[in-house]
Amino acid sequence: MSEIKYYLIKGTALFGESHYPERRKFVKVIRALNEKQATEYIYSYFGSKNKIKRYNIKIEEIRELKEEEVIDKRVKEIGKLEKIIV
């Protein structure tokens, strides 16, 4: 079984494509099994939350982080959970 890792993803996305297009930078720390899954998460996240198309998202850097390097408390705490009950 694969181990879940932390990834730092940096890039730009085109917000407000139809009215006033503006390219903004983003930095996101997520948990994923591999880089491909991390990339898919970014595309689906921005697509669902902001209605941004995949071709308007440019990922510039994907870097694996060690647990000590993670700054975001929420991501770190979720990584410590053994199971989630919904």
Over range 49-58, report the average pLDDT: 93
Quick: pLDDT tens for 10-44: 999 999 877 889 999 999 999 999 999 999 999 99
pLDDT category at 59 given cuts 50, 70, 90 is: very high
Range of the domain at 12: 5-80
Domain count for the chain, please give it.
1
User: What CATH number did the domain enclosing 62 receive?
Assistant: 3.10.20.10
What pLDDT is stored for residue 74 in this prediction?
Answer: 86
What pLDDT is stored for residue 63 in this prediction?
Answer: 95
Mean pLDDT score across all residues of the chain: 90
The answer to whether residue 85 sits within a structural domain is: no
What pLDDT is stored for residue 26 in this prediction?
Answer: 95
- For 14, 36, 41, the CA distances from 54, given in Å and listed in that order, are 10, 14, 11
What residue ranges in 1-86 does DSSP mark as E strands?
A: 5-15, 22-32, 57-65
Residues 6+ apart with CB under 8 A from 42: 9, 11, 28, 30, 57, 59
The answer to whether residue 86 sits within a structural domain is: no
Its pTM stands at: 0.82
